[in-house]
A and B are shown apart, each in its own frame.
Chain A
Amino acid sequence: MTTAARPEEAAPSPPDPRVGGWLSWISGTDHKSLAMRLFCVCGVFFLVGGLLALIVRAELATPGMQVVSHQEYDEIFTMHGSTMVYLVVQPLALALGVYLVPLQIGASDLIWPRVALASLWLIVAGGTIMYLGFLTTGGAGPDGWTAFLPLSSSRYTPGSGMDMWVLGVLLANGAELVLAVVVLATVLWRRAPGMTMLRLPVFTWTEVVTCMMVLLAFPALLAAMGLVYVERVTTVNVDPVVYLHLFWFYGHPTVYVMFFPFLGCVAEVLPVFSRRRFFGYPAMVFSLLAFATLSMSVWAHHMYATGRSANEFFAITSTSLAIAAGVEYFDLVGTLWGGSLIFRTPMLFALTFMIQFLIGGLTGIILASPPLDYSLTDTFFVVGHFHYTLFAGSIFGFFAGVYYWFPKATGAMLRERLGVAHWALMVVGTNLTFFPMLILGYDGMVRRIANYPASAGFTGLNELSTAGSFVIALSVLVFMANVWWSLRHRVAAGNDPWEAQTLEWWTTSPPPRHNFTDLPPVRSHAPLLDLRLEESRA
C-alpha cells in the first residue's frame, strides 16, 4: 500500500455519466459531495440566522420599539440563537469531519454513507420544521434557544409554532448525533495501514473527541426536548431543575463540540504556515481528552443562580478548563515559535482565532466564579462572552479552515486580496459588535430584552454594536464574492499548494471518488512532511 509516486497534478477522474445533476445532489453518498451539501445547507441557515441577528441589532440600536413588536422580537432572537447553534455551528463542526476525516486517515469513504446522507436531509427537515413556525398564527418558538420550563410549556407558550420548534430541534439534533456516530466509526474502523491512533492528524483527533462528546451529551438534549414535548401535549409537569440539568448537560459540552473542530483547523494551519511540525503532539492529544472531561463536568455553572447545584464543584471544574486550554495554547504558540511564518489568509484567521478566543476564555473564567456570576448572570456580559467563543473563536477557526482547504475541495485558489479584505472587515466588525456587549453587561443591561430606557445610558454602546454587526454582514458579502469570483475565474491549485503535511494533500484537487489510488508510508501525524524531509536528505 506504499508508493513514492504522487498522483499527477490536476488530473481529476473522468466524470461518471451515471452520477451527476440534481439527482446526485439529492441522493449522492460520496462523503465529499455530502459534506459540500451540508456546508451549503449551513451556509443558507447562516445567512438567515445572520439576517435575524441584524434585525435584533437594529431593534436594540436605540431605545424604543422601532423595527418589530415585542412578540416578533422574542421569536426572532430565539430563531437566531437556535439557528446558529443547532443548524449552523454544530453541523458545520461535523461537516468538516465528514469531508476531511476519510481523507486524513486514508479511507475511501465514510463507513456508513447512507446513514450520513439520511442525517443531512433530517437536519434540513429539522431546520425547515423550526422555521415553519413563522407561518402559524402564534408565530415561531419565542422562548430562547434554551426553551426553559415552565416558560416553554403550553400554558405559557401556547400554539403549534413552539411545538414545531421543539420537534425541529429534536429532529436536527438527533440527526447530528447519528452523523457524529458515523464520523467516529469511520476513524475507528477505516484507518489506512500505518495510521495508528497516535498518528492521526490533530484535526482528526479533535473530531474524535467532538464525536464522543456528541455521543454522550446529545441524548440529554433529546431527553430534555422530549420532556418539553410531553409537558406540552399532556398534563404531566416536569421539574424545571431536572430540565435545566438535562439541557445544560448537553448545552455546555456542545460549546466544545462547536470549538474543538475549529481548534483542529487552526492546529492544521499553524504548522503549515510556520513551516514546522506541530509542537507537543502527544500533549495536545491527552490535553484534548482532559479538556473534554472537564467540559463534560461544568454544565451547572449555568445554574449557579438557581441555588440548586453543587456550585463549589462546578466552580472548580470551570476554572480548571483554563489549564487544559493553556496546554493547547502552549502547543499552538510552541508551533509558531521559531517558525518561518507565512501570513496568508488562513494564517491570519488562525492567529486572530487565538487572540479572540482568548478573550472569550478569559471572560469565561470570570463567569466561572459564582460570586461574580451572581451579578453578571443573564446580562449582556454573558452574550458578549459566548459570542467571543462561538463567533470570534469558532467562526474564525472555520474560515481559517475554509481558506486552507478550499483549494483541495475545488481545485481552485481563493483570491488573496479579497481574503485579506474579508479578514480585516470581520476582525473590525466582530470586536465592534461583541466588545461593547461585555461593557453593557457589566453596566447592568440584561439580555433577551427588546427595549431599554433612554436614561439607562446604554444607547451609545448599542449603536456601536449594531454598526459592528453590519460590518460583519459586509465581510460575509466579501467572502461570498471571493468564492464566486474564484470559482468563475479559476487559478489552479495543484495537489498541494501550501506544502502541507497531512494525507489529504497527497491526492488530486479535488480528490477522485475513491480519494486515493495509493498512499505514502504513514510514520507520523505528518506523513507528507516526513516524505519531504526524506527527499531532501536523499
Chain B
Amino acid sequence: MRRPGPYLVLWGCLLWASAAMLWAFSFGLPHDPQACTSATCVAEPYLAPALLTAAGAGSFLIGLALVLTHGGREDSAARPVVDQSMTTVVLAAGIGLAVLGLAIGWWLVAIGAGLGLSGAGGLVREHRALAHLRSGA
C-alpha cells in the first residue's frame, strides 16, 4: 500500500468494527434488553455508538475519496512559495475580535467582522497575484 487512501479506509473499518461492538453492548447482550444489567442498559443507547460510527464514516469516506480519485500521489512539482501574508494575520485578528465580541458586545463583533472581511479581501488579491505569477512561470 504505497498511497494513503487504503490506510484511511482500513482505519475507518477498524472504527466501524469497534462501533459495531458498542452498538451490541449499548443495547445489552444477549439481545433481550430486559436481561442486561443496569451498566449496559444505558440511558442514551444511540448516542455513544452513533458518535463512533460517524468517526468511522469520516475516515472511511476520506480514504475512499482518495482511492477513487487516485489522490495522495508522490509529488515532484516545483511551485512558488509565499514568504509573508499580512492579510492572513488581519483575517485572524478579525475572527479573534469577533469571537471576543460575543462576550463583550456586538460593537466588537462588528469591528472584528469588518477587519476579517478586509483580510479576506486581501487574501483574494494575494491569491490572484500568485495565480498570475504561476501563469507567467
Q: What is the interface of chain A, defined by CB distance below 8 A to chain B?
A: 1, 16, 18-19, 23-24, 26-30, 107-109, 113-114, 117-118, 120-122, 124-126, 128-129, 132, 160, 163-164, 167-168, 170-171, 187-198, 208, 212, 215-217, 220, 229, 239, 241-242, 245-246, 249, 289-290, 292-294, 296-297, 300, 307-313, 317, 370, 513-514
Q: Pick the residue among B14, B71, B81 that contacts A514 (CB under 8 A).
A: B81
What CA separation (Å) do A462 and B126 show in the bound complex?
A: 57
Whether A241 touches B44, Cβ cut-off 8 Å, given contacts A27-B89, A167-B100, is yes
What CA separation (Å) do A526 and B50 show in the bound complex?
A: 40
Chain B residues closer than 8 Å to A28, beta-carbon distance: 83-84
Whether A192 touches B103, Cβ cut-off 8 Å, given contacts A29-B84, A125-B93, A212-B59, is no
What CA separation (Å) do A242 and B44 show in the bound complex?
A: 8
Chain A residues closer than 8 Å to B15, beta-carbon distance: 293, 296-297
User: What is the chain B residue whose CB lies nearest that of A29?
Assistant: B82
* Pair A296/B89 contact, Cβ less than 8 Å: no
* Distance (whole angstroms) from the CB of A149 to the closest CB of chain B: 14
Interface size on B, residues (CB 8 A): 58
User: What is the chain B residue whose CB lies nearest that of A164?
Assistant: B103
4 further A-B pairs in the complex, CB-CB below 8 A; given A129-B99, A311-B40, A312-B25: A121-B88, A242-B44, A290-B14, A293-B11
The 6 closest A-B pairs by CB, nearest first: A125-B96, A313-B25, A121-B92, A196-B2, A293-B14, A163-B103
Classify the secondary structure of A's interface with B.
Answer: helix
Chain A residues closer than 8 Å to B32, beta-carbon distance: none
Q: Pick the residue among B19, B83, B99 that contacts A29 (CB under 8 A).
A: B83
Q: Pick the residue among B11, B88, B95 that contacts A289 (CB under 8 A).
A: B11
Q: Does B86 contact A (CB under 8 A)?
A: yes
Chain B residues closer than 8 Å to A192, beta-carbon distance: 74-76
What CA separation (Å) do A208 and B5 show in the bound complex?
A: 12
User: What is the chain A residue whose CB lies nearest that of B29?
Assistant: A312
Classify the secondary structure of B's interface with A.
Answer: helix
A-B contact count (CB 8 A): 190
* Pair A296/B71 contact, Cβ less than 8 Å: no
21 residue pairs A–B, Cβ–Cβ below 8 Å? A29-B81, A117-B88, A118-B88, A121-B92, A121-B93, A122-B92, A124-B96, A125-B93, A128-B96, A171-B95, A171-B96, A189-B73, A197-B7, A216-B59, A245-B47, A307-B39, A308-B43, A310-B25, A313-B25, A513-B83, A514-B81
* Distance (whole angstroms) from the CB of B86 to the closest CB of chain A: 4
* Distance (whole angstroms) from the CB of A323 to the closest CB of chain B: 14
Q: Pick the residue among B22, B74, B83 that contacts A18 (CB under 8 A).
A: B83
Chain A residues closer than 8 Å to B34, beta-carbon distance: none
Q: Pick the residue among B18, B39, B91 that contacts A370 (CB under 8 A).
A: B39
User: What is the chain B residue whose CB lies nearest that of A197?
Assistant: B4
Chain B residues closer than 8 Å to A19, beta-carbon distance: 83-84
Chain B residues closer than 8 Å to A310, beta-carbon distance: 22, 25-26, 39-40, 42, 48
* Distance (whole angstroms) from the CB of A298 to the closest CB of chain B: 10
* Pair B84/A24 contact, Cβ less than 8 Å: yes
Q: Does B111 contact A (CB under 8 A)?
A: no
* Distance (whole angstroms) from the CB of A130 to the closest CB of chain B: 11
* Pair A189/B26 contact, Cβ less than 8 Å: no
Q: Pick the residue among A1, A189, A308 that contacts B71 (CB under 8 A).
A: A189
Chain A residues closer than 8 Å to B7, beta-carbon distance: 197, 208, 289
* Distance (whole angstroms) from the CB of B40 to the closest CB of chain A: 5
User: What is the chain B residue whose CB lies nearest that of A220?
Assistant: B51
User: What is the chain A residue whose CB lies nearest that of B102?
Assistant: A167
Chain A residues closer than 8 Å to B95, beta-carbon distance: 118, 122, 125, 171
User: What is the chain B residue whose CB lies nearest that of A108?
Assistant: B81
Candidate in A19, A189, A191, A310 with the most chain B CB atoms within 10 angstroms: A310
Chain A residues closer than 8 Å to B31, beta-carbon distance: none
Candidate in A108, A114, A241 with the most chain B CB atoms within 10 angstroms: A114
* Distance (whole angstroms) from the CB of A514 to the closest CB of chain B: 7
